[in-house]
Amino acid sequence: MKIHQISLFLENKPGHLNAICRTLAEAKINIVTLSLADTQQFGIVRLIVEEWQKAKEVLEKAGYVVNVREVVAAAVADKPGGMAEVLDIIGKAGVNIEYMYAFAFRHGSEAVLVFRFDNADRAIEALKASGRDVFDAVTLFNQTK
């Protein structure tokens, strides 16, 4: 039920993010979603791509340090209070969110979010128990096509 996210270290300098995207584009890898977390000094790019092994390989070959983490993609109702409901479920399960960001596509009337939990298994269990959609890689990437 978990999907792979790759992340890269980035200096806050013009053109650096562009170079990463270009490297992936040349390898014909489509970025499904991307989030940039940055401080004054440096940034971390997090990417979801279908062929994460290939992406890791081409980026490492280009000299980047690449980290692979497991994250959870879950649906959140796109209406007032939708997010609060999910946070509630997670909070009750005693799980913390380290960070989260959104996919550009929708799942029916719902938004799809990427979560990094400190305890992914427990979070998935709690979300499913409350009837939320949690996506595995195959279903998720099918939505994007």
Partner 1 sequence: MALYEYAHDLDTPVHPVSAPDYMPAEQLRALQLHRLQGLVRRVYDNVPLTRKRMDERGVRPEHIKTLKDIALLPFMMKTDLRDEYPFGLFASPMNDIVRFHCSSGTTGKPIVIGNTGNDILVWQNGCMRALAMCGVRSSDVMQVAYGYGLFTGGLGLHYGGEGLGCAVLPISGGNTDRQLMLMQDMGVTVIACTPSYFLHLIDEGMKKGIDFKKEMKLKHGVFGAEPWTEGMRDKIESLTGITAHDIYGLTEISGPGVANDCQYRRGLHVFEDHFYPEIVDPDTLEPLPDGERGELVFTTLTRTGTPMLRYRTRDLSRIHTGPCPCGRTIRAIERISARSDDMLIIRGVNVFPSQIEAGLMSVDSVLPHYHIIVGRDGDLDTLEIKVEVTQETFSDDIKTLERLRQRISQAVQRIINISAKITLAEPHTLPRSEGKIKRVTDLRKNV
Taking CB under 8 A as the binding criterion, the range among 7-15, 26-34, 80-88, 125-133 that sits at the site for partner 1 is 7-15
Least distance from C-beta 49 to partner 1, angstroms?
A: 15
DSSP string, 67-106: EEEEEEEEEEESSTTHHHHHHHHHHHTT--EEEEEEEEEE
Distance CA 133, CA 106 (A): 12
| Cβ atoms within 10 Å, residue 99 | 13
Query: Shortest gap between Cβ of 13 and partner 1 (angstroms)?
Result: 9
Is there binding between residue 121 and partner 1 (CB under 8 A)?
no
At closest approach, how far in Å is the CB of 27 from partner 1?
17
Closest CB to partner 1 among 65 and 138? Answer: 65
> How far lies 123's CA from each of 30, 47, 68, 69, 132, in Å?
28, 21, 19, 16, 11
Given a contact cutoff of 8 angstroms between Cβ atoms, the answer to whether 54 and 29 are in contact is yes
Among the candidate windows 10-18, 82-90, 104-112, 125-133, which touches partner 1 by CB under 8 A?
10-18
36 binds partner 1 (CB under 8 A): no
Q: How far is CA 133 from CA 45, 70, 137, in A?
A: 26, 17, 13
If binding is defined by CB under 8 A, does position 18 make contact with partner 1?
no
Which of 2, 16, 122, 128 touches partner 1 (CB under 8 A)?
A: 16
Q: Which residues bind partner 1 (CB under 8 A)?
A: 5, 7, 9-11, 16, 37, 39, 41-42, 44, 46, 60-61, 63-65, 67, 69, 98-99, 116
